[in-house]
Chains A and B, each alone.
Chain A
């Protein structure tokens, strides 16, 4: 009887401790130092189960407001030729829905996109807009599942469960399991569970670089586990802290 009285609070305490530790780890992941701004070229390769490859090339600019920690991002599509000149502008907000526009050269207009599209695929790839934009730390409950090596790197394995249905709807995920490297707080693998709780997608970091003292994923792969379709995103010619003007992210950039 005495043992049971000790075990239950002990389990509760341990789970609180591990929950707290997981939250602390994920806080570090979400609040890693950021550059003031970044310019890069991106290649997105979509590989069908039959091996057919489709390549999209993009140029991107992003800038983070150090006071609000909100990021603005502009992506210009370079290839394939039928979507060349298309631009995607994102104004991230902490306390309300993000503002998103897409400029379509064929109609010479920028159109607003509702945030419901965040769970949708990024440029027809296996990454979602949510994967690209990143989620909010506050939207998830965290639990440390175990500690293990992943690709010879010691990692924490953390389960992130959506706090409510709104988060599930926004992200497209009910749960994510993340492998976080202990040495640099980089997420090297994410297993994504769909709205019904079924594992359906895996995102892996293939390469990362330390640029001006900050780690960054330079190559990632997203694999749909049922269909075996996958997408590889690569960043090249990365420039950081180059003083990108605010105007780059204004309405005048969308033309």
Chain B
């Protein structure tokens, strides 16, 4: 008997969705980038004070000719008095900001597959979480026994300049080991006091985004340098808040990241940095119009430009690392603008959020129209656009993906 038949016979509360997605480039090259059919199965149960939840993805992408079978989440929670204990693979989301979430660094993302919803890039992380519930406060302890990095399309390459050969090999990534000593942890206090919700979070985790290391392969001439990703331990001191004021929802979220390179001496390792976002949302015309605006800043401690390094190779390495780590300037300013419209009939809506990097003059946006012809059926049509003039990951993404149009048809059950 297969698993699905067993679950149906056992009368498990089985849900999920069936979806078709088509993505195509609409700029200079007109090609299909994704033609995928996928299904997610979700199982949830509650038995006494024990709850369980699981989500499993199955999919096939005709363009990449790839078959996906992946557990997204699977965890159990036990409630006993003021304690909640959760163990398993879970998407852990924290923070109050929209789209740009400085503190939301626990859950890894997979950016190698296209999605129109930013949340779908997230994959569960193995965790043991104990919550201690007081009347208006929750104190949480997290343990993360395993490490999963964010996935990026990082192709290997080789660059030859006079006197130097640089090779980048992502398959040689150095990840934390599987020993217990590599266990990551976090502490969080989340509370609510008269219209003011806040949290403070401390994390000691391995950075989901890579730093890099270089190794001299051959002495000059020419000088051979190999670069490969490495995942370093970071400490995050974060806080967030949300409140309401005169019809507005107001929120803010910020964190200081203590990295391996506090002094900014290694061009391939992220400097310690501070990152904060604040803004608000409100609706107009009886929730027909949705409006949101945010501003953000990232301050890179001991920032050094490529020219600040004495040798040209360090400058080249810094330029390479910038394409992945967003540390392109000492201060980077961001803004996000969200506009949404819900039709009076409730059958369709339009939504657009744009993220703009003022410092690099780069952008990222997914404008879309959602049409719902029947309950649980949604047709989404939109554009997936990124690019700009700078050297931030948004413009890198634009160069890699181009400008895309997409359509999704999804039935939830």
Contacts and interface: CB of A to CB of B under 8 A. Distances in A.
B346 interface: yes
B195 A250 contact: no
A245 B198 CA distance: 23
B92 interface: yes
A128 B84 contact: no
B318 to A, nearest CB: 35
The DSSP consensus for interface residues of chain B is strand
Interface residues of B, number: 46
Interface in A237-255: 246-247, 250-252
Interface stretch (A31-39, A77-85, A144-152): A77-85
Nearest to A120: B287
Given A120-B286, A124-B346, A112 B242 contact: yes
Contact of B282 (A81, A107, A109, A116): A116
B195 A54 contact: no
A82 B117 contact: no
Interface size class of A (residues with CB under 8 A): 35 or more
Nearest to B133: A252
Given A54-B346, A112-B244, A252-B131, 8 more contacts: A81-B412, A99-B244, A108-B92, A114-B283, A116-B283, A117-B287, A120-B286, A251-B191
A81 B249 contact: no
A97 interface: yes
17 contacts: A54-B375, A79-B375, A81-B17, A81-B412, A96-B194, A97-B244, A99-B244, A108-B91, A108-B93, A114-B245, A114-B248, A114-B282, A116-B282, A121-B287, A172-B286, A227-B344, A251-B190
Interface of B: 15, 17, 84, 91-96, 117, 119, 131, 133, 135-136, 138, 190-192, 194-195, 197, 242-245, 247-249, 251, 281-283, 286-287, 342, 344-346, 374-376, 378, 410, 412-413
Interface of A: 46, 48, 54-55, 79-82, 84, 96-97, 99, 106-109, 111-117, 119-121, 124, 128, 172, 227, 229, 246-247, 250-252
B147 to A, nearest CB: 20
A221 B133 CA distance: 40
